[in-house]
Amino acid sequence: MSFSPVCFLQPGIAFPLPGNFDFQAYIETEQELWAFFPETVGKRVNFCQIGLTAQIFVEAAEDGSELGTGETYFLMPCGDGSIRPLRMRALRRLTLSEFRMSHLTAMRLTGELSKMGDVFDSVHSQVLGDQAYSDLGSSDAAWG
């Protein structure tokens, strides 16, 4: 798989989840989004605010090709004990009420994600480069 100039990380990269990360709790909360967006059932799901809109994304097949229009990678915790880029495609834009509803679910996911400060430090260092990232200061400053 070649490295795309528009991706910040190699699609095949993986970072270990911390030992205290509860993947089962995380995935059960993520799957609550299936109730809000039935068109996503059976697939990994995420959403993203883009400017003053938001889009719902579902996992797409990884075929090694360049990302298509409406595709991106999201770093997602996985059942194998890693967090890695999953190729996802945009399904549609969210209404404001859908965004508010899904945002409340996402806020519940932050409990598990807050355990990953060291993992996110590794990701940021990889993306920004060690020197640029260290110039930003410690992870304590970056994450509050």
Q: What's the pLDDT tens digit per position in 69-89?
A: 999 999 999 999 999 999 999
Phi-psi region of 51 (alpha: psi -120 to 50; beta: other; left: phi over 0): left
Residue ranges covered by each domain of the chain: 15-115
Q: pTM of the prediction?
A: 0.82
Predicted local distance difference test score (pLDDT) of residue 73: 94
Per-residue model confidence (pLDDT) at position 100: 93
Residues of the chain below pLDDT 70: 1-3, 131-144
| pLDDT of 143 | 47
pLDDT of residue 144: 46
